[in-house]
């Protein structure tokens, strides 16, 4: 299994295709909204909820014959996907519908929010990473829907970084949080529809769950192989290039490192005022991280931990998706920072997103990253066996 990672089949990481993935909203339109007819519907969505014609799912459902759309719910970053702070309740300009924020005064929907609904529809593009909070928002909404006996529909979308490669330590059971809804590895290789099936069964949520599955999506396809138009899932995850790097770079931030927020290339560079870029780049090159190109970088972020301060660090580019593993990269970077800057880098704080105390302890000891990854294998094999029961796509 290669340290618990499921390798991508073949070498078609960037191959073109003639067909076009139909997401859940496209399939629902083809069904003429039959599952929702006669129902009062609440829609959990944001700017990524669009059909293949670019129409917002909000507007599609608002004008769907026999469907009564009565309320909207927004996750972190808001309905337009632009906010990097708490989000207030609002009103949708086009439809006049109320928008209840699930990243404001509360992160869990209340019974009052779901009052008078017959069905909830979830249509948001996820990033395929455990600590991306759209996963938790879905879980919380499923729990409340089950309590109020409201049917829950997931309009499925691709895992943007592909549905085969599984990476990272399993979450420690005592570290559940808003950035860790369920014991998953960092990269779980599942769509939100598949995750919803897993959460419903394994957490015994008991929701009346319906997944509107995609048509013509294969697990070995990344987003740029689907024929779908790219929409940045959140303000800083702007490119698919960054999405492949994100699982291994975001974990650095809690350790007092800028991960490029407040620059023109978030997650494609990282640094700090105490880093020497050429020194760190040389150390990472010496480690021979497969599929990764590194170079010294300088930047001054206008947001984040070192706002307005000049940082040196490293720029990153994936040169081979098939061989590249974000978590190996992340661990190698952590070890390099701990080796070169032990008085500045706060390795113990990476537990916030790594979610594995044993992994952090091994990093502090200086264990080889490849040995650490090999140590995840037994847990990941158990996860893969469980995961297999909920997969919807070949």
Residues 119-178 have pLDDT tens digits of: 999 999 999 999 999 999 999 999 999 999 999 999 999 999 999 999 999 999 999 999
Residues 347, 363: Cα–Cα separation, whole Å: 8
pLDDT tens-digit readout, 59-69: 999 999 999 99
Query: How many degrees, rounded to 5, is the angle at CA 299 between CA 293 and CA 302?
Result: 130
pLDDT value at 53 more than 50: yes
For the chain, what is the mean pLDDT?
A: 95
Residues 79 and 72 sit within 8 Å (Cβ to Cβ): yes
What are the sequence ranges of the domains in the chain?
24-233, 240-355
List, as own/partner pairs, every contact residues 52-56 make where C-beta atoms lie below 8 angstroms and the sequence separation is at least 24, other chains included.
52/20, 52/22, 52/23, 52/26, 52/228, 54/229, 56/94
Which CATH superfamily hosts domain 24-233?
Answer: Uncharacterised protein PF07075, DUF1343 (3.40.50.12170)
Mean pLDDT in residue range 74-81: 97
In Å, the largest CA–CA distance within the chain is 64
The residue whose two tokens read 């459902």 is 61
pLDDT number for residue 377: 98
Cα angle, residue 376 at apex, residues 175 and 218 outer, rounded to 5°: 95
Residue pLDDT, tens place only, 338-366: 999 999 999 999 999 999 999 999 999 99
What band does 3 get if pLDDT is binned at 50, 70 and 90? very low
Per-residue model confidence as pLDDT tens digits over 301-310: 999 999 999 9
Total residue count of the chain as it appears in this document: 394
Query: Encoding tokens for residue 93?
Result: 């300009």
Task: Judge whether 222 and 157 are in contact, CB under 8 Å.
Answer: no
pLDDT at 223 over 60: yes
Q: Give the CATH number of domain 240-355.
A: 3.90.1150.140
User: How would residue 17 be classed by pLDDT, with cut points 50, 70 and 90?
Assistant: low
| Residue 365 burial by Cβ neighbours in a 10 Å radius (0-12, 13-18, 19+) | exposed
Q: How confident is the model at residue 6 (pLDDT cuts 50, 70, 90)?
A: very low
């Amino acid at each position: 299994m290669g340290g618990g990672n499921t390798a991508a089949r073949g070498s078609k990481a960037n191959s073109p295709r003639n067909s076009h993935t139909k997401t859940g909203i496209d399939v629902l339109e083809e069904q003429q909204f039959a599952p929702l007819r006669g129902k009062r519907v609440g829609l959990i969505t944001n700017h990524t909820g669009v059909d293949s014609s670019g129409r917002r799912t909000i507007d599609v459902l608002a004008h769907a014959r026999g469907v009564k759309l009565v309320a909207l719910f927004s996750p972190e970053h808001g309905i337009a996907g632009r906010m990097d702070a708490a989000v207030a309740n609002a009103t949708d300009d086009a439809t006049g519908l109320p928008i209840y924020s699930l990243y404001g005064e509360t992160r869990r929907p209340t019974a009052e929010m779901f009052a008078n609904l017959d069905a909830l529809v979830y249509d948001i593009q996820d990033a395929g990473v455990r600590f991306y909070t759209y996963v938790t928002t879905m879980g919380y909404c499923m729990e409340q829907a089950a309590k109020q006996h409201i049917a829950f529909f997931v309009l499925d979308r691709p895992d943007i970084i592909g549905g085969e490669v599984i990476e990272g330590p399993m979450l420690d059971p005592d570290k559940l949080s808003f950035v860790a809804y369920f014991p998953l590895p960092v990269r779980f290789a599942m769509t939100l529809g598949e995750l919803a099936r897993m959460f419903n069964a394994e957490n015994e949520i008991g929701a009346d769950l319906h997944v509107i599955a995609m048509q013509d999506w294969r697990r070995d396809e990344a987003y740029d192989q689907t024929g779908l138009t790219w929409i940045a899932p959140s303000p800083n995850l702007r490119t698919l290039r960054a999405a492949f790097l994100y699982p291994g770079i975001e974990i650095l931030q809690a350790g007092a490192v800028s991960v490029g927020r407040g620059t023109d290339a978030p997650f494609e560079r990282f640094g700090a005022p105490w880093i020497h870029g050429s020194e760190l780049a040389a150390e990472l090159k010496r480690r021979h991280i497969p599929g990764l190109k590194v170079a010294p970088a300088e930047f001054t972020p206008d947001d984040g931990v070192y706002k307005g301060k000049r940082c040196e660090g490293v720029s990153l580019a994936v040169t081979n998706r098939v061989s590249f593993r974000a978590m190996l990269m992340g661990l190698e970077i952590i070890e390099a920072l701990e080796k070169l800057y032990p008085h500045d880098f706060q390795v113990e704080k990476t537990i916030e997103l790594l979610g594995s105390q044993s992994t952090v302890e091994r990093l502090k000891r200086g264990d080889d990253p490849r040995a650490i990854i090999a140590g995840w294998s037994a847990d990941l094999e158990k996860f893969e066996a469980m995961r297999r029961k909920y997969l919807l796509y070949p």
